Structure 1
């Protein structure tokens, strides 16, 4: 069920009607990562002296701030692998409604109408989720250094839990009440966690990770409907 949901989602994000959403998601993700990199590099350059005198010598090293800025850019390229987790979190709510509507229109056309969320509700939910992800990962980073051999397992386990829980709840609460969402989540929490962990793994793959905000929304929309017994419309095989 997990892999069939992901396979359908991959097809969905590259449909002509979904490419606009995908392009917007990739553009916003790249823009946010560039903004963070520029601000961080500027901050390092602002606090780094222009030159440096080696201790106990008269030898000066010039352009220290430029060297530090270049090193910072390299560091941010590495850190972008981890920064994609909060980036995906920030855009989850923004993309989910459009992606879910596209998925349901294509695969589950007979569903009843839903209550759409207002822009304020969507932004508030995205910011709340972003805050949870950032705080949880900052706490986890203080632990990683003491458990280096198993740090990747903790990273994927933690973010798999966070991404899976939030993506699933956002997809489900479009259709059912919060109490029903919680009951369904607890019943299938291990499957949801595993799906979230797979999303977290993909988020660490440069370039590919840019499509995850949209891919995740499509995947968990499919997963929700599969768990509630909805059968997707069969694929239409078009002859050449």
Structure 2
């Protein structure tokens, strides 16, 4: 079931109907990440500035050299922290971007691959925005936990996949399901098929961990969960 959904979602990404949503999604994701990079960079500079000012004026030679080395190490530390911050925020950024395009993607997939089924209904804009912001906060908290666990040998990579696999799988599946069901019904369906949804979430987390390809994660995840929702719905009826 999952392999079929993955194969069909990957094929969907190459279809002409996806091009507009694909470039919009990538463009917004890149802009968002670039904005975050500069925002985090200025934040670190602002935090380091009082220390540099305090050490700069009229320092003796040895202290001036020490201050220069401090600036080098501070720059390296800031670069590492910036990279870690962006890695931490890729998952929530993916969730926010996906919330903007899920209905467009779902409509394309439903029309092309399930023309015999009744079309879904888009989640109301305000409700979709509230759910996306709520999930944004949950994913940040989850990834903060995963970031702490990165310091634990043997747990770090597993923590990334478990946290993001669970959270992203849940979010994308429920969004796809709510085109046909109430929010409570979508949650109940996910719980009945929690193992399947989690495994699909691991696939999304795996794509999220691959540089460049992770920019396509929102559209792939949306298409994947539309296919998976269709499959588990048929299983429930059977």
Superposition TM-score tier, normalisation by shorter sequence:
0.7 to 0.9
The corresponding residue for 1:181 is 186
Which moved further from structure 2: 133-142 or 34-43? 133-142
1:38-65 Cα deviation digits (max 9, x unpaired): 0111121223245757999343445976
Measured in 2, the distance between the counterparts of 1:112 and 1:135 equals 37
1:132 to 118, 135, 138: 138
Q: After the TM superposition, which residues 1-240 of structure 1 pair with which residues of structure 2 at under 5 Å, given as runs?
A: 1-49=1-49, 50=52, 52=55, 57-60=62-65, 61-62=67-68, 68=74, 72-73=78-79, 75-77=81-83, 79-145=85-151, 147-229=152-234
CA contact (8 A) 2:88 2:147 kept: no
- Identify the structure with the greater helix proportion: 2
CA contact (8 A) 2:102 2:219 kept: yes
Give the CA deviation at 1:111: 2.2
CA 1:9–1:104 in structure 2 vs 1: closer, same or farther (change >3 Å)?
A: same
Please report the TM-score for the alignment, with normalisation by the length of structure 1. 0.84
CA 1:158–1:28 in structure 2 vs 1: closer, same or farther (change >3 Å)?
A: same
CA contact (8 A) 1:89 1:213 kept: yes
CA 1:139–1:55 in structure 2 vs 1: closer, same or farther (change >3 Å)?
A: farther
The corresponding residue for 1:235 is none
Measured in 1, the distance between the counterparts of 2:7 and 2:144 equals 32
Give the CA deviation at 1:139: 3.0
Measured in 2, the distance between the counterparts of 1:18 and 1:203 equals 19
Give the CA deviation at 1:126: 0.9
RMSD across aligned C-alpha pairs, in angstroms? 2.6
CA contact (8 A) 2:9 2:220 kept: yes
> How many residues end up aligned between the 2 structures?
229
